[in-house]
Amino acid sequence: MKFILALSDLIIPIVFSYIILYGYFKKVDIYEAFAQGAKEGLKTVVLILPTLVGLMVAVGILRASGSLDILSSVIEPFSEKIGFPKEVVPLTFMRLISSSASTGILLDLFKNYGPDSFIGRFTSVMMSCTETVFYTMSVYFMAVKITKTRYTLIGALAANFAGVAASLWICNMLWG
């Protein structure tokens, strides 16, 4: 364990040194390459900024309007039958859109039920098994100018659903 901790402390300095040495031996102007990369990165930020603002506004509207609570109450009868905690429904939907908003909901669940409760453990596993599908697709596809997504959304939603289902099954097997 001490070896892994020492390695994790050294990994960034090792990678940084490797990049400098690689550039030196390949006779690359490292600073110029860095400046060019930073310039391209800023262009990307400017391109995706409207999408990010739109997503943040949508998340704010969803949270403030009570839409997630309404959705939770509609899904509650079905979620009870399969053993899915109704308190986790808002997190499940918000996770598709925003990582920071879903982390806020997660922290609220931890505060109300505790991280060692079934809900706390289930949400922890679920957060690590799922992705912010709409955020990822909108930001990354816009950054590289992909307009025809074909089956990406269906595949990503299916993978997310599988992650949520697997999280519920694993947590029920271990702590249910």
For the cut 90, the answer to whether the pLDDT of residue 60 exceeds it is no
For the cut 80, the answer to whether the pLDDT of residue 143 exceeds it is no
For the chain, domain boundaries: 48-175
What is the pTM (predicted TM-score) of this model?
0.71
Over residues 23-37, mean pLDDT: 91
90, two tokens: 């808002």
Higher per-residue pLDDT: 6 or 158: 158
Query: What tens digit of pLDDT does each residue of 74-116 get?
Result: 888 898 888 899 889 989 988 998 888 899 889 999 999 999 9
**How far apart are alpha carbons 120 and 110 in whole angstroms?**
6
pLDDT mean across residues, the chain: 88
For the cut 80, the answer to whether the pLDDT of residue 32 exceeds it is yes
Q: Give the highest mean pLDDT range of 3-7, 53-57, 61-65, 159-163.
A: 159-163
Over residues 146-174, mean pLDDT: 91
For the cut 90, the answer to whether the pLDDT of residue 52 exceeds it is no
For the cut 80, the answer to whether the pLDDT of residue 176 exceeds it is no
When pLDDT is cut at 50, 70 and 90, the band that residue 125 belongs to is: very high
Contact 51, 97 (CB under 8 A): no
Over residues 37-51, mean pLDDT: 86
